[in-house]
């Protein structure tokens, strides 16, 4: 599975979700405000751990356009109360998710997108 990780975190997707180190997915990192690139991408992973407003906009951008992609939102526990369905994400998880949880959630999101 190819993941586009939208984050401004130094170290990119693997710093955002350390469990990615143990999984066999290809990653492409991009800034949180980056326009959705063309090309192959199965799931967009959005960093919502620091700026909820920008994360919500990134989720919405992933779900619209000529190539809509499912978005998985990574949230700090303190921000969970702010989550709204209108953001357009398919699933969410904490940055501390285990490799098993991360893999399962990604697989389920990809299956639903098909």
Tell me the pairing of strands 2-6 and 71-74. unpaired
Answer yes or no: are the C-beta atoms of 36 and 69 closer than 8 Å: yes
Q: For position 64, what pLDDT does the model report? A: 78
- Which pair of structure tokens corresponds to residue 83? 């989550």
pLDDT at 68 over 90: no
Q: For position 66, what pLDDT does the model report? A: 58
Q: For position 35, what pLDDT does the model report? A: 81
Confidence of residue 72 (pLDDT cuts 50, 70, 90): very high
The pTM assigned to this predicted structure is: 0.93
Confidence of residue 114 (pLDDT cuts 50, 70, 90): confident
CA 24 to CA 35: how far, in whole Å? 26
CA 94 to CA 96: how far, in whole Å? 5
């Amino acid at each position: 599975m190819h993941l586009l990780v939208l984050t401004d975190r130094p170290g990119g997707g693997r710093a955002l979700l350390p469990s990615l180190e143990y999984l066999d997915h290809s990653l492409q990192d991009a800034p949180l405000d980056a326009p959705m690139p063309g090309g192959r991408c199965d799931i967009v992973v959005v960093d919502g751990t620091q700026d909820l407003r920008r994360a919500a906009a990134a989720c919405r951008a992933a779900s619209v356009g000529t190539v809509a992609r499912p978005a998985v939102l990574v949230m700090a526990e303190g921000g969970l109360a702010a989550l709204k369905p209108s953001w357009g994400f398919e699933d969410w998880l904490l940055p501390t998710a285990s490799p098993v949880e991360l893999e399962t959630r990604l697989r389920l999101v990809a299956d639903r997108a098909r």
